[in-house]
Amino acid sequence: MPVPRRFDRRPPERDTTRINERIRVPEVRLIDDQGQQIGVLKTADALVFAQERELDLVEVAPEARPPVCRVLDYSKYKYEQAQKVKQARKHQQQITVREIKFRPKIAEHDYDTKKHHVERFLKHKDKVKVTIMFRGREVTHPERGTAILDRLAEELADLGVVEQRPMQEGRNMTMMMAPSKAVLSGKLAGEGGEGTEGEAPTAEAHETHQPHVGDVAAGALAPHVEDAPPPVESGGAAATGSTVS
């Protein structure tokens, strides 16, 4: 059984363009069907001028004094205007803005996960709004947020360009990234992307075991230095392996 349509209470769209007898002003400035200026005529005379050519008298500039009217085929004119609008929508590129949020003390693993999402959004030719959220006294160290955003922009320089530099608004710092010319031209094809779109959940449990990206003001993580092997005593042999538990 077909589902009945809901009653649309909105009034139908009405064409407000005044044509022919709907033009009530006493005189108009007339342009003929060839685009030539005829001059100021009485409205009745302009209407006769249009009817002799089996065309319509259309008011194209009602704000002018006197209003400007043109002689043309109004049905053909409306069809051409509709086709122009249709072609404009066909070639119009819809821009989607995605948002991904970071914390100034985000762990390295979480940073890599979120960077992968930003990379996927840029490959899909979407703009990305990157937000650093500060809590409590973290807002007194904005350099940590700037360091994370600068690092992200540097690592994704091939895929995106910074459209808006890092800017702090209250407790949030934002940066806008747009796809690079290489992505827009199709040289770097977009990937399907794994997982669900949007922000990946932050794994708070990892923060106690991994270094924080924003701990260093310069934005670069300090390299992990392994413990040096114990010095070899005289007369002994150095250990060549580590104990596996």
- The pLDDT tens digits for 137-190 are 999 999 999 999 999 999 999 899 999 999 998 899 999 999 998 888 887 654
Q: How far apart are CA 22 and CA 43, in angstroms?
A: 11
Longest alpha-carbon distance in the chain: 121
Greater model confidence, 160 or 235: 160
Please name the amino acid found at residue 219.
G
pLDDT surpassing 50 at residue 216:
no
Residue 120 identity (one-letter amino acid): R
**Domains of the chain, start order:** 20-74 (3.10.20.80), 97-215 (3.30.110.10)
Label residues 160-186 b or e (16+ Cβ within 10 Å = b). Answer: bebeeebeeeeeebbbbbbbbeebeee
Torsion sign (Cα): 179, 184, 187, 188: positive
pLDDT exceeds 80 at position 235: no
Among residues 152, 219, 175, which one has the least CA distance to residue 211? 219
Residue 214 has pLDDT above 80, yes or no: no
CA 73/CA 81 separation, integer angstroms: 12
**Whole-number percent of the chain with pLDDT over 70:** 72
Query: If pLDDT is split at 50, 70 and 90, which confidence band does 211 have?
Result: low
59 φ, ψ (degrees, to nearest 5): -80, 115
pLDDT beyond 70 at 16:
yes
Burial class (CB in 10 A: 0-12, 13-18, 19+), 110: buried
Average pLDDT, integer, range 124-146: 92
- Considering the entire predicted model, what is its pTM? 0.45
Q: Out of 32-36, 69-73, 134-138, 230-234, pick the least confident.
A: 230-234
List residues bridging with 64 in a β-sheet.
none
Spatial contact of 27 and 66, defined as CB atoms under 8 Å apart: yes
State the residue for tokens 């600068």.
150
| More confident position, 232 or 158 | 158
Q: What is the pLDDT of residue 91?
A: 74
Q: Which residue has the higher pLDDT, 156 or 220?
A: 156
- Could you tell me how far CA 118 lies from the centroid of its own chain? 13
Residue type at position 2: P
